[in-house]
Structure 1
């Protein structure tokens, strides 16, 4: 399984957790049952999901700070969770270049989101990357 597929699986799990309050382990098991077990990148998908959940308050504060006119609740659920994944990678995965995280988020947004998801996601993430020091975990308190 590629990292893109792992990101897609992580998005699907986060969506279930976000929308239905699913337990992440159960959501992963359900995805495995429905779509087959992941081969190769299951650790990466798990790292993304659990990393987002552990840092959710910080990540959501960053999104809220950048998207001044859009509350988190107004955002499309898919877009919000794609941005959460990307921001987790940006702030907590030093081995992934920021431009890769943003590009992957935009592409996943085009697949799973609405017509304007790619542009919206790119706009929000681009603002964070442009001013990344302003949004560091040390400055954005949870």
Structure 2
């Protein structure tokens, strides 16, 4: 598994735990970074968790709109975490091609969730990838936390 793949897995672990515990993912991340009891957390995992957290409202709006027949609360927590990661890479990561974001998300959910989850994640992210450029324009016009716009 490549370093970015490992970082994605670490990010999903943190997002999933934060979701289950009802705590802020960035706070949980800060508790884990540098802790001697936890394996090191790479820079890309930190970028993912911070980026997803900063844009979670918009990410969740897009997921809700495109997860046909599913509400966020009805999704298995691991699927929700993987979808947030995949959607973040689709909409906010300039250096991640759509196919890579989808494939990596599907591989994660294959390893971590139910037999039905890979098809579900692939379908949701595939629908969103089809309108990626339109969605990217809409999220790029809104200020993103920490980007220096509107401050």
**In the alignment, which residue of structure 1 is the partner of 2:127?**
127
**In the alignment, which residue of structure 2 is the partner of 1:4?**
5
Q: 5+ unaligned residues in a row in structure 2: which ranges?
A: 143-151
Q: Is the 8 A contact 1:16 1:27 kept in 2?
A: no
**In the alignment, which residue of structure 2 is the partner of 1:116?**
116
Distance in 1 of aligned mates of 2:126 and 2:32? 30
Distance in 2 of aligned mates of 1:123 and 1:115? 14
Distance in 1 of aligned mates of 2:122 and 2:37? 32
Q: CA deviation at 1:132?
A: 2.0
Q: 1:28 to 1:76 in 2, by over 3 A?
A: farther
Q: CA deviation at 1:138?
A: 1.5
TM-score for both structures, normalised by structure 2:
0.81
**In the alignment, which residue of structure 2 is the partner of 1:13?**
14
The worse-fitting range, judged by mean Cα deviation, of 19-28 and 98-107 is 19-28
Q: Does 2:31 correspond to 1:26?
A: yes
Q: CA deviation at 1:92?
A: 1.0
The RMSD of aligned alpha carbons is: 2.3
**In the alignment, which residue of structure 1 is the partner of 2:50?**
50
Q: 5+ unaligned residues in a row in structure 1: which ranges?
A: none
Q: CA deviation at 1:135?
A: 3.1
Q: 1:5 to 1:99 in 2, by over 3 A?
A: same
**In the alignment, which residue of structure 1 is the partner of 2:147?**
none
Q: 1:133 to 1:71 in 2, by over 3 A?
A: same
Where does structure 1 differ by over 6 angstroms across 4 or more consecutive aligned residues? none
TM-score for both structures, normalised by structure 1:
0.86
Q: How many residues align?
A: 137
